[in-house]
Amino acid sequence: MESTRDGTFKELGDLKKLYIEKGVTPDKNVICYCRIGERSSHTWFVLKYLLGYASVRNYDG
């Protein structure tokens, strides 16, 4: 999860580590998805605007 208990985002270093440990790295094409797009849009925002991933999209299926 990208946010803390108080609803703010985690520190950038913590976010980078979280995604890199899961194999989500800036050199890959990343497609975020979930059932209705609510959670995936949050992840898309983190990757695109906070971490600066160049190739990230949100699937709205």
Residues designated catalytic: 34
Give backbone dihedrals phi and psi of 36, rounded to 5 degrees, phi first. -125, 0
End-to-end alpha carbon distance in the chain: 22
Tokens of 39: 């959670």
